[in-house]
Amino acid sequence: MDRRIAWVCNWLDPTLSAKEQSALNLRDTTVTALQRLSRSAAVEKLLGLVQQNGKILTGQILRTAAMPPHLRAMRIASNVLPAYSHPAIRPLYDEPVLRQAAEEGLDPAGKVARKGGVRLSMHPGQYCVLATVRDETRAAAVADIEYHTEVMRLLGHAGGWHPHGAHINVHAGGRAAGLDAFRHGLTLLSEAARGLLTVENEETAYGLDDLLPIADALPIVLDLHHHWVVTGDYILPDDPRIPRIIESWRGVRPVIHISAPREELVPGQDPDRLPDRAALLAAGVTARDLRAHSTRLWNRAHAAWAGQHLAWGDIEVEAKDKNLAAAAFAEGLAAYG
């Protein structure tokens, strides 16, 4: 069974200048900047960005495909088609020239991913929530998920149940709305979007146990760090909840998220001892501090614990050093044994 460790969103290369590194990652613009332009000028600006982003994304996937098989997985940044889901900008993407650029730019990237065995994912931002009491918030979330689905479609990774392992991951949303609101939101999505969507446990609203009742509707992404922040529990692969998570993926290899508390939270932390949530809180570290992602998975015992979960799922490393952190995690697992 293939086991993959994924990097997320931006590619870092410390051998390059800041400007050269920037050129390796997707370009973006703002709705405000586009609205200052005439329609034709806005289309022209988007055209240049979409053409650039198609080439940049293809380059990112090519670099990932050139890595060892266990590192051939990545999360695509959301700004592939800038401002696409905004209601004022969305009609511009119906212009034939822009539509053609999106199709011609992303199709090669998808082919490179499939040929190279690169697993792809996307993760809409924190304001994309289906469980909400506000109709406008729900409508915006649906539009955002459909946008990410369109990117996957253009890549050739949509249609059916998580084709090529692709997925679009979200947080559930507001606790006050309840999971029935989340289920209702699912009914508003296209079939293609429902075939790509996953949901992860979080620290502030829906934990792992809260989400298990909707494992019949979509796959659950276990975020190991979020679970630890809430419970202090280092969940193990033999935990009785793991089979239900695996079952929710319906034959597709699951995805897991991992990050670590920042090393500087308590000076002198032993990298060979698991961070103790209770001790950190007693030392004055706040829950908000615990949620922040570290630069790398610096704690060897913590990384070794997380690595055990590769037995049943692929791991996305959510750390500030992006691809460098994912590669270091893999190297550390080999060294730690």
Indicate the domain borders of the chain: 123-200
Q: Supply φ then ψ for residue 216, to 5 degrees.
A: -75, -20
**What confidence tens digit (pLDDT) does each residue in 137-172 have?**
999 999 999 999 999 999 999 999 999 999 999 999
Q: What is the pLDDT of residues 228-245, one digit of tens each?
A: 999 999 999 999 999 999
Q: What is the mean pLDDT of residues 262-291?
A: 89
d(CA 274, CA 269): 9
pLDDT band for position 102 (50/70/90)?
Answer: very high
- DSSP conformation letters of 310-330: GGTSEEEE--TTHHHHHHHHH
In the Cβ-directed half-sphere of 154, how many Cα atoms lie within 13 Å? 21
1 — pLDDT class (breaks 50, 70, 90): low
Q: Mean pLDDT of all residues in the chain?
A: 95
User: What is the token pair recorded at 112?
Assistant: 């490179």
Q: Is the pTM of this model over 0.75?
A: yes
Task: Please give the average per-residue pLDDT across 182-210, as a whole number.
Answer: 96
pLDDT at residue 336 in the model:
65
Residues 296-312: pLDDT tens digits?
Answer: 999 999 999 999 999 99
